[in-house]
Structure 1
């Protein structure tokens, strides 16, 4: 299968797709610069999936202090994003693959010329660029099949936010936790991707009878999670149980903010939301 590249019917956004990689891209600026940015994105996208596949055994292996260094630009970015968590958690570079790809395509676009604003959305993991004075309004949804807004906010130039990523058991990737959604704002999409995974795993109630878990390998034989149990269903939970699970994620998110790894996080479980912001304005819709 060859990479697919096309301008969407709205005439503004670029769609790039190859295998599991599916990107929606939009840039704002002078027409000629936007066109050149799109050309650069298409050029960089060509061969990107093949390069990732050549290093799959390393990328699916647990990241450790003595792990071999990846060879590619994108794969090294994946390792760097998960590195801060490797000593205390099971994590593989695949936890940052979507964000790392988004970061790489955005970097190619910005190298082509100055843009006012731009984003690369890789299935919900988003690399963003804002020139001085620019703003992105963001909306956070809890599940892809029945999207509902559970928080909103704004990202401004100078906020040190270059990426947004979401993880949870209802998403396209497996989760060890029970969060419907954990959305993270971070300096890069790769960093946000890795952190969202770690925080979502911390939203949990180990051993709870209402939670259905199965080995990841039983669902996807080549999963990087192997026989680890991933969440496939969350039944009825009492309010105090929901609060307890969310508290675990809040503690983890606050620690990552204090470490400078993320800027803010929004956690959502069974209709309840917890926001862990710093100077970033994240609010629940009803509070608007």
Structure 2
């Protein structure tokens, strides 16, 4: 494996960091010297983040419970903290929060001692956000095009600093059939883990149009073991699509009610469901752009 790579993109504004499966796009806004210092801090932190995860990988692939286990690395600690909050009655491992946790850890490294206006760390679609007082940021929502605005505006006063998307077509395996589930939460780790569980719940168990394969056949070291993951979704009628989405919506609404996430948007074959702030027509701060 090639070691950590760092380069500015052609626009001269965004930093690209890559090491193995981790691929980050980072952009910070503020005074030039502060932005440059933040990027330098990000490069330093990125140099060891994958190595630290690999050192604890076996435990990170093991199921979590509501009692968080101790880990040495800060990113691993973020992963376990996020999934343990969601683990009640559900199968989940810290790997469900790995992309979001890396984004959060990189954001924390960038901000240490710095004065920025706003920033984001995009880890393959899972994003950690920073907003100074008075600032706002527009974020795209995956899976749109179904009578749902494709962007939301997140302001400093909104309790959202993480956005993550999961689904069977994504880069990670899913137990469900959602085209996409996007979650807004207090940090990227929690958004990542919640999106995974909600996407898993969007499902029609044993439906003949859905193709499934044991996860460990596709990836022998998968944290999902022999659990069946979705590899194809055939024709479904409107009733079946609605039924699958309602299954996921129940989980999303549970997470909203428990204060674990702010909102979720669920998409499957042209239909969508919204939970939390995005579904609240009277929202005053978190609004469609």
TM class, shorter-chain normalised?
A: over 0.9
- What whole-Å deviation, never above 9, does each CA across 1:92-124 have from its counterpart, x for those lacking one? 000000000000010011113111010000000
Mapped to 1, the partners of 2:43 and 2:172 lie a distance apart of 25
Residue 87 of structure 1: how far off its partner (Å): 2.9
Paired residues for 1:224-235 under 5 Å: 224-235=223-234
Residue 141 of structure 1: how far off its partner (Å): 2.1
Residue 90 of structure 1: how far off its partner (Å): 0.7
Residue 250 of structure 1: how far off its partner (Å): 1.2
Residue 66 of structure 1: how far off its partner (Å): 6.1
Structure 1: gaps spanning 5 or more residues: 144-148
Answer whether contact 2:68 2:80 (CA < 8 A) is retained.
no
Mapped to 1, the partners of 2:238 and 2:151 lie a distance apart of 24
Mapped to 2, the partners of 1:47 and 1:95 lie a distance apart of 21
Tell me the residue number matched to 1:112.
Answer: 113
Residue 212 of structure 1: how far off its partner (Å): 0.4
TM-score (norm 1): 0.93
Paired residues for 1:51-66 under 5 Å: 51-65=52-66
Tell me the residue number matched to 1:216.
Answer: 215
Runs of 4+ in 1 over 3 A off after TM superposition: 65-68, 279-283
Residue 65 of structure 1: how far off its partner (Å): 4.8
Paired residues for 1:1-288 under 5 Å: 1-65=2-66, 68-142=69-143, 151-278=150-277, 279=283, 281=286
Q: Matched residue of 1:177: which SS? A: coil
Mapped to 2, the partners of 1:174 and 1:215 lie a distance apart of 10
Structure 2: gaps spanning 5 or more residues: 278-282
TM-score (norm 2): 0.93
Mapped to 2, the partners of 1:265 and 1:32 lie a distance apart of 37
Judged with a 3 Å threshold, the aligned counterparts in structure 2 of structure 1 residues 247 and 282 are, in CA distance, closer, same or farther, namely farther
Judged with a 3 Å threshold, the aligned counterparts in structure 2 of structure 1 residues 264 and 66 are, in CA distance, closer, same or farther, namely closer
Bigger Cα displacement from structure 2, 24-33 vs 254-263: 254-263
